[in-house]
Amino acid sequence: MLKKLLMLCLAAIVLLAGLWQLARQPDYQLFGTLVPRVDTAEKLVALTFDDGPTPFGTDRVLALLDEHAVPATFFLNGRAMAQHPGLAHRIVESGHQIANHSWSHSRMVFRSPAFMRSELDRTDALIRGAGFQGEIVFRPPYGKKLFVLPWVLRERDTTTVTWDVDPETGLGPDVTSETLVERVRNEVRPGSIILLHVMFRSREASMAAVPELIETLEADGYRFVTVNDLIAMSPGNQALGN
């Protein structure tokens, strides 16, 4: 009896570990529309930034994007937007897309539907208040999504946008901007969505990589668009994903 109980516990642990890994896969979602990239032969790419807005990062990255005349998509946290409302307005006024990255940046797994809806609704309201008029897409914090979140998103007809190029993952604090650019160049393809974090001082290498990344990909023939424009430009307006 004890042996059988131990086996059941072990099986449960293995199952939970598998579900936890599945929850973080950027190209898998159980319900609803998921966009890790779009299927297009045209050399289009979307540059996306997570978190914030922060006084440290927002103006710096907006200046870099303006200098290169490149649009980007900012996945913002509602709490940070509430703390710095002028920054969200500035992003919109600069011609960029704002998207929902939850209110609190909590892992949105093993949470109630009411919690999910609150995180989404409060942030959506601030995005509209900042002046953004397009479709509001969503990116889960840490990329984690399991059962409840995808179900709530499908209920709301909200598209989940993840990424297929993530140059920062697995690299230590001493990473250089050159390494990040090289990783992007090796992984990018038409329709890619690139993930970067530039809002905090710990991400100085990512901020420094932005101009070189833009120049490198443009030299390779790529054109930058927002996530919404990338989806709209895909053949048949169909995103890859489930």
| 197 carries an active-site annotation | yes
Running DSSP on this structure, what letter comes out for residue 235? G
- Check if the beta carbon of residue 104 is closer than 8 Å to that of residue 77: yes
The whole-angstrom separation of Cα 96 and Cα 93 is: 7
The residue from 27, 50, 84, 220 that is catalytic is 50
Instruction: Collapse the DSSP code of 11 into the 3-class scheme (helix H, G, I; strand E, B; otherwise coil) and give the result.
Output: helix
Q: Nearest Cα to 186, choosing from 209, 208, 165?
A: 165
Determine which one of 84, 89, 105, 197 is catalytic. 197
DSSP string, 171-231: --TT--HHHHHHHHHHH--TTEEEEE--SSGGGHHHHHHHHHHHHHHHHTT-EEE-HHHHH
- C-beta neighbour count of 160 within 10 angstroms: 25
Closest C-alpha to 146, from 178, 107, 181:
107
C-alpha distance from residue 239 to each of 34, 40, 114, 124, 228 (Å): 7, 9, 28, 22, 11
**Euclidean distance between the first and the last CA atom of the chain, given in angstroms as a whole number:** 42
Instruction: For residue 138, give the 3-state DSSP assignment.
Output: strand
Active site residue 101: no
Q: Which residues are catalytic?
A: 50, 197
